[in-house]
A and B are shown apart, each in its own frame.
Chain A
Amino acid sequence: MSKLNSDRDFFFSQTGFLSGLALRGKLLSVIMIVSSCSMLLASSVFIFYQWYAFRQFLAEELISQAEIIADNTEVSLAFNDPKDAQDVMESLGTRDSIMLACLYSSNGNQFAAWSRDTAMAMCPAYSSESGYSFENKTLLVRRKVTMGDQIIGTIVIQSDLRELNPFVNNSIVVSILMLLIAGAIAFVLSARLQALISGPILYLAGLAEDVSRERDYSKRAAIQGNDEIGQLADGLNNMLARIEKRELQLRKSEKQLRAIIDNTSSLVYLKDLQGNYLMVNQRFADLFNVDVNDIQTWKEQDIFSAEEIKIFKENDLAVIRHEKLMEFEEQVSQAGGVHTYISVKFPLYDENAQPYALCGISTDITDRIEAAGEMRQLRNYLSNIIDSMPSVLVGIDPGGQITQWNKQAEKISGISFYEARGRMLTDIMPGLVNEMDKIKQAVRERRVITDNRMTNKKEEEIRYTDMTIYPLIANGVEGAVILLDDVTERVRIEEMMVQTEKMMSVGGLAAGMAHEINNPLGIMMQSAQNISRRVSPDIAANVKAAEDCGTSVDTIHAYLKKRMILDFIEDIRKAGARAAAIVANMLQFSRRSDSMKQNADITELLDKTLELAASDYDLKKKYDFRHIKIIREYEPDLPKIPMFVTEIEQVILNLLKNAAQAIAESEGNEEPLIVLRVRRERKEQLIRVEIEDNGIGMVENIRKRIFEPFFTTKPVGTGTGLGLSVSFMIITNNHQGKINVESTPGRGSRFIINLPLAADMEEKNE
């Protein structure tokens, strides 16, 4: 409508002249206005015509009157009888409208005159013209008076127009009557006939209204015809068809959308900027038990706690403020506890690009979080397992680059996983260069390959490593896991067990033989002792027995001495003693410490061990023990201390051997010297034993580690690395004592053993 021109605007615009009227009224008004105008025009023409015609009629009538007068006054004029003319002219008085009559002679002089109102009467100026004119609401007629062909005068008659007015008035009345009648007829007719036009339009209007009200776009206008209304109907129908189609599509897509929204596992909702819900999906409604269709029947407060609402509001406001899609983690307590949602929120814009609402899509990720937590826990658990393994665990890809590197690997290599990741295994563990072929083989052949007891020397110490290569073949993960176990301890223990086994078997043999050997040895040596004694002059019984035999003890003794028989006897004794010592030592080494502690004199034990050391093959041959000067600095009257004699003996022997070895290794010019010191530390209630040599000594690095099991400075194969560690164990563990060492490289070492006095022994000896 707005596009129509201004003329039409005047009638049809919402603010125009007929704006207040319905179509029917408008049509009626138009018809009535048009017909009224035309009728008014016709009436006006009619009235004018009537008026004009009547005036002509009046003029002609007055002319004929004037002719009559002229005819009648002809004689008067001719005979110059004004009186007669006067009389004739007075006949005019019968007609009310004639106001004045004047008769002029041919020379222009007034000949006779008559007027209805003499006072007013005044003849107009003479004119010889004939004719009529309307002047000052009067009609003036001039007529020549003729006699034969001679003009003898002029008659003038003036009449007013009183006869005209009633006639005109009548005409007007008639016209008005006609107008009214015609108007009424026109109204009645147009009232009926306008329906021809307005009917279909109203029908269409009603249809349009129905459609828009009922939103039923399947309605169609049932109007046929080729006129504009028919076209309008067709147009409307087409439009409706199109709308219907679009509506169907729209409804379909809305249904799809709704189905998607309602069936998604997420909560979907729209809120206005005040936080009121505009729409929620079915899942939302089901979860919080609200009506999806009737948003107004429930409030946010019915569903969520104040705290939750506060957080939602903050998040919503952030989205509106930043005008962008944002993600939040929101927590909602619902049936079954607190659930965590990941909420995607974004603003919705109106046609002016202003945000008018907020859409939220919240997905319950509680399970996912739990699963992630479990997975994290599992991962931690696994990595804890991997990290707490005492083994070095290294994962590599097929190219040999490190993918896994556990704590033990970090500890052993001093390289963190962060540094090691992605680097070549052989760069970080050069010791494995030779093993790469095996690793490749394991991956290629998809089998576990083990390589036991790989040796490597680390700070003067031989260490053993077991390597196991597990190819990774599951889940398309290529590569291998390499497990490195430091089995040094185990290997050493195995070695020790083998050694112990050997010693035990020797010891067992010795124990079996000991009794059988010791008895004869005892007889031998005691017999030798008795022989020596019974040839001795010092014993009274010998003297008597010699006398009984007719000789003297002195003679016998002199003879025996002369023939070196006494020396031979002494040789028997010594040889026996040596044999006994060997058996005893063998027994002592074989005997385990299951026998009870004995109270022993430590100095006695030291001397005994020195004796033993002197007869030790290694000490004798390799270290030339006999040429080492032994100095004993024993405090006198020491109490006995409880000990496993064989064990302490073993410790002392070991220390003596070490001392001899250290002396042998030193190239100094000093006289080889071992000092044995024993003194009582009264305050600490212990006996302190020192074994000092002037050998090669040792550096601090070695000194610190010397009691560690299997630590050895000797070439591979010559030492077990056990000696000092066993000594350490015997002293500290079995005797609750202490052993340590002081050393200066090139000057010698001093081992110090502290052995506690037994509490009861202490009292007894005091």
Chain B
Amino acid sequence: MNDKIALLIVDDEECLVRNLAAYFEDEGFKIFTAHSGEEALAVMAENKIDAAIVDLRLPGINGNEVIEQSHARGNKVKFLIHTGSTDYKLPESFSAFGLTGNYVFLKPVVDMARLKSAVLQLLAE
């Protein structure tokens, strides 16, 4: 595993971040974490990130804005959405960066393996 996948986990809930980070570390990912949208953007600006699992409800700018701004800055980060909002509607414009309904996960995700396979699938596209 010379070339670890750099995965950014963005959530304001520390327990969730810790769990996801522990799982993906164990699965051999290189983990970056952020607890707000601004922090996430800063991390993505400073590091080379391959994919990000983003919560929507964040302090400051929300998940959608993070994704939009990241793309606006020319970052090639692939995004998954991991949200507790049952009424979330995926903006149509996101399909332009390969973000479709298949990459929207509603909490709780009982088996984190689903997230891993989705990340791998997303990066493979």
Contact = CB atoms under 8 A, between A and B. Distances in A.
Nearest to A588: B86
Contacts of B84: 514-516, 518-519, 522
B123 interface: no
Contacts of A580: 108, 110
A581 to B, nearest CB: 9
B90 to A, nearest CB: 8
Contacts of A252: none
B107 A519 contact: yes
Contacts of A518: 84, 86, 106-108
Interface stretch (A346-354, A442-450, A529-537): A529-537
| Residue from A516, A519, A524 with most neighbouring chain B CB atoms (10 Å) | A519
Given A526-B16, A533-B26, A587-B86, 9 more contacts: A511-B87, A522-B16, A522-B109, A523-B16, A523-B19, A527-B19, A529-B112, A591-B86, A591-B87
Interface residues on B, range: 20 to 34
Contacts of B26: 530, 533-534, 539, 541
A522 B85 CA distance: 13
B73 interface: no
29 contacts: A511-B87, A514-B84, A514-B86, A516-B84, A518-B86, A518-B107, A519-B107, A519-B108, A521-B108, A522-B84, A522-B108, A522-B109, A523-B13, A523-B16, A524-B108, A525-B108, A525-B110, A526-B112, A527-B15, A529-B23, A529-B110, A529-B111, A530-B23, A530-B26, A533-B23, A573-B110, A580-B110, A596-B89, A598-B101
A86 to B, nearest CB: 209
A522 B20 CA distance: 10
Nearest to B57: A515
Interface in A494-523: 511, 514-516, 518-519, 521-523
B3 to A, nearest CB: 18
Tell me if B's interface is mostly helix, strand, loop or mixed.
loop
Given A518-B106, A526-B20, A526-B108, A595 B89 contact: yes
Contacts of B106: 518, 584
Contacts of B111: 529
Interface in B66-125: 84-87, 89, 101, 106-112
A193 B56 CA distance: 160
Given A519-B16, A534-B26, A539-B26, A526 B109 contact: yes
A307 B72 CA distance: 95
A526 B9 CA distance: 14
A577 interface: yes
Interface in A519-559: 519, 521-527, 529-530, 533-534, 539, 541
A523 B108 CA distance: 8
A697 interface: no
A576 interface: yes
B22 interface: yes
Interface string A308-327: 00000000000000000000
Nearest to B13: A519
A674 to B, nearest CB: 27
Interface string B25-57: 110000000000000000000000000000001
Contacts of B108: 518-519, 521-526, 576, 580
7 smallest beta-carbon distances between A and B, as pairs: A522-B108, A515-B84, A526-B19, A521-B108, A522-B107, A518-B107, A523-B15
